[in-house]
Chains A and B, each alone.
Chain A
Amino acid sequence: MSGFTITDLSVKLGGTEILHSVDATVGSGEWIALIGPNGAGKSTLLRSVAGLCSYEGSIEIDGREVSEWSRRETARRIAFVPQAPLLPPEMRVRDYVMLGRTPHIGEFAAEGVSDHEAVDRAMRRLDLGALAERRLRTLSGGEQQRAVLARTLAQDAPILLLDEPTNALDIGRQQQVLELVSLLRSQGDLTVVSAMHDLTLAAQYADRLLLLAQGRLVAAGAPHEIATEALVATHYGANVRVVGEGGALAVVPVRRSG
């Protein structure tokens, strides 16, 4: 299990500062949802933690700076799923899940017994056995999402970063994917950080919410403390009602006129 600490993190992309002096601590085994309006810096924060862009400040995992690790060492600790994962259409599901073993296989070596076992385990947990030999292009959206999750599980990394994991899924699939992440987390001692647009789902599934706006961390805390009508109005410019609590908390948009 692993958590990580972000101290005074700033990221510039092409001369523009995307993140300004962000501080945050993610506890081992926690599920954190990053929320915030478009362009707030959620994806950039995830990419920095995954070691995919250069940053100023510090991101420490297990007491060591992320930027000091080799790509392979980082990949053994952090699995990252971007907003729209690129699925090679002709690749078979099992071969795709095997890609998750890349950081554990020597660069020019072949996969071994332990890699096949890890892939079998991941496929079993996501119920993909019957789809193993199917090509990725023949899968439905939900099945593809499961294949992506299986790949990240096969990676055996204690930290899972998900950028908009429910993007482009219908409401039923959204729930299924998040339930699945929740189940995997409870079974596998995963630390999960997910960037999310849907505030209701973020509040229902995450332990804590981090609210980013214009590259700054503006609020952090339990879902009922952050998903409030006042904060959402201030940072999203949205008119909402917050109803229910806990697993039934919902952020409902309310029409301003009429």
Chain B
Amino acid sequence: MTSVTGEQAVETGAVVPVGRRSLVPVVGAIAFAVVAALIGLLVGPVHLGLGAIAREALSHVPLLHVQSDMSSTDKAILWQLRAPRVVLGLLVGGMLALAGGSYQGVFRNPLVDPYLLGVAAGAGLGATLAIAYGGGTVDSYDLLPLAAFVGAAAGVACSTVLGHAGGGSRNPAGLVLAGVTVVAFLTAIQTFVQQQHTQSLQEVYSWILGRLGTAGWHDVALAAPYILISSAGLIAHRRVLDVLAVGDDEAASLGINVRRTRLAVVAFATIGTAAAVAVSGLIGFVGIIVPHTIRLAIGSSYRIVLPLSLLVGGGFLVLADVIARTVVSPAELPIGVVTAFFGAPFFAIVLRSSRSFS
């Protein structure tokens, strides 16, 4: 009996658990992120060869005795300009895509992005206040990320409180509506402050469009702990998010504490996104395109979507940044413009091709 079932399984390819199915895509996504990072290190106004970068990197590994032939200027370009930018791109892109995928799962809504519950509006208000009132007196490099982070977290906290007052724990739509309300309110205040301080308009605007241009190791150190912790927290919930796909009642009847799970996922996604936004501004589209492309190309299980979003999102943002700093070189495009300009048509193509399959 068992052997017959086993043969049938082999013939129809029936017994392939999710874990094994995901091996090839995960290896592919790691390769994509690595290649994107290398392109990010190689491309720029100053040519640095792949061999030179490899020798320079290996020269820092003890006991290998590899000699670097890079000039000190090239070393500075590699380690102080390009490397932190690439690392920050990986972190921010991965975080935005992972948070977007998690939000879509926890709200069972394919159109939500990590900015849904007020992260962007809150960060925007915080940043605007910092630029408008803090720019002259305090070094805004220190104040801006902190203000954006606090604003983002406060925005989501308002939405969550308001959503629960409206029965949001039982009904995710209540939380989403609360988010819409909070976003509208915070955006109104932000616009008001901006209008009162027209001299800071340019700076606020460039922050809103997102940038990795000023990235240094300082920014990486600021954002990395939050991003790493919340990524780990979200990826740990990947199987539970699959269970939530059957609806709150059925998920509860399968033993999931739905309310606690939703709060935990929103909290992790918010902390990570707030940290990403604090150092890079509002980079749009990554949280929607990356998880959806993975769903359409590989599968909808969050056990695959979440880890791949982290890897592909990181690689995607590094490549977008390469484009942002090369097409109008020596000037730079805001990276949010690039992600939207290339992301939207790309997403349309993916959507079209997947429709013809189904």
Contacts and interface: CB of A to CB of B under 8 A. Distances in A.
Interface in A145-171: 155
A11 to B, nearest CB: 15
A250 interface: no
Given A90-B300, A91-B301, A116 B17 contact: yes
B256 interface: yes
B14 A76 contact: no
- Most chain A CB within 10 A, of B13, B14, B19, B256, is at B14
Interface in A101-122: 102-103, 105, 107-108, 110-111, 116, 120
A99 B242 contact: yes
Contacts of A52: 249, 252-253
Contacts of A94: 14-15, 17
B239 interface: yes
A85 interface: yes
A50 interface: yes
B253 A79 contact: yes
Nearest to B9: A129
Given A90-B295, A124-B5, A100 B254 contact: yes
Which of A47, A72, A85, A88 has the most C-beta atoms of chain B within 10 angstroms of its own C-beta? Answer: A88
A99 B243 contact: yes
B124 to A, nearest CB: 34
B250 interface: yes
A71 B252 contact: yes
B12 A130 contact: yes
Contacts of B5: 120, 124, 129
B236 interface: yes
B51 to A, nearest CB: 41
Interface in B4-40: 5, 8-9, 12-19
Contact of A133 (B14, B255, B300): B14
A204 B107 CA distance: 42
A168 B239 CA distance: 31
Given A85-B246, A99-B242, A133-B12, A155 B301 contact: no
Task: Indicate the member of B13, B15, B253, B295 with the most A CB atoms within 10 Å.
Answer: B253
Given A94-B14, A110-B19, A133-B14, A71 B246 contact: no
B247 A133 contact: no
B303 to A, nearest CB: 9
A124 B250 CA distance: 23
Nearest to A86: B247
A252 interface: no
A88 B239 CA distance: 14
A147 to B, nearest CB: 11
A92 to B, nearest CB: 8
B42 interface: no
B240 interface: yes
Contacts of A102: 243, 254-256
Interface string A209-243: 00000000000000000000000000000000000
Contacts of A78: 253
Contacts of B171: none
A71 B255 contact: yes
A82 interface: yes
A12 B249 CA distance: 18
Given A85-B250, A90-B300, A95-B301, A71 B242 contact: no
Contact of B250 (A74, A80, A132): A80
A87 interface: yes
A88 B255 contact: no
A231 B299 CA distance: 52
Given A132-B15, A133-B16, A103 B255 contact: yes
Contact of B14 (A99, A105, A130): A130
B350 interface: no
A107 B245 CA distance: 16
B231 to A, nearest CB: 14
B80 interface: no
A78 B240 CA distance: 19
Contacts of A92: 299
A132 B19 contact: no
Contact of A75 (B239, B253, B299, B300): B253
Given A74-B253, A133-B13, 13 more contacts: A52-B249, A52-B253, A71-B255, A74-B255, A80-B250, A99-B243, A102-B255, A103-B254, A108-B240, A110-B239, A116-B17, A129-B14, A130-B14
Kindly list the 6 A-B residue pairs having the minimum CB-CB distance in the complex, ordered from nearest.
A75-B255, A103-B255, A90-B300, A132-B14, A72-B255, A80-B253
Interface of B: 5, 8-9, 12-19, 236-237, 239-240, 242-243, 245-247, 249-250, 252-257, 295, 299-301
Interface of A: 47, 50-52, 70-76, 78-80, 82, 85-88, 90-92, 94-95, 99-100, 102-103, 105, 107-108, 110-111, 116, 120, 124, 129-130, 132-133, 155
23 contacts: A52-B252, A71-B252, A71-B255, A71-B257, A72-B255, A74-B253, A78-B253, A85-B246, A85-B247, A90-B295, A91-B301, A95-B18, A95-B301, A100-B254, A103-B255, A105-B239, A107-B240, A108-B239, A110-B19, A130-B8, A130-B14, A132-B15, A133-B16
